[in-house]
Amino acid sequence: MRDAAPASSPAPVDVSPGKPLHAFLAVVLWVATAASLACLLLFVGTMSLWMAAADVNPLGYVATTLAVLAVGAVCLSAVRKLPRLRPLPYVTRAAALGAVACPFPAAAAWLLFATG
C-alpha cells in the first residue's frame, strides 16, 4: 500500500529578534488601524439604523465608506506585492503595511463627517 503524500506546511514566519522597534511600530500601527476601523464601522452602522428609522435611505453613507475601504484594501494588496518589500524581514514588512493601512479608516471617517 502506498503512503499518502505528506501535507505541505506553510513556510515559517521569520521574526527576527534584532528589530524590536519595527515590531513595536507594526503592533501600534495595526492596533490603531483596527481600532479606527471598528469605530468607523460602529458609527456607520449606528447612522444607518438611525437613517432607516427616519425613513431615509442610508445607502449613500454605507457606499461611501465601503468604497474608501475597498480602495484601501486594493492599495494595501498592491503595496504588499511590491518587489522591494519582499526581501525585507517580516516585521519590517508588517510595519510598512501598517503605515499604509492606517490612513484609510481615518479618510473614510473624514469623508463621512465632511459629506454628512
- Domain limits, the chain: 20-115
Residue 103: pLDDT band with limits 50, 70, 90: confident
| Mean pLDDT value across the chain | 80
DSSP reduced 3-state for 2: coil
| Residues belonging to the chain | 116
- CA pair distance 116, 114, nearest whole angstrom: 6
- This model's pTM is above 0.75: no
Q: What is the pLDDT of residues 46-101, one digit of tens each?
A: 888 999 999 988 888 788 878 888 888 888 888 888 888 888 888 888 888 888 88
- The count of other CB atoms within 10 Å of the CB of residue 1 is 3
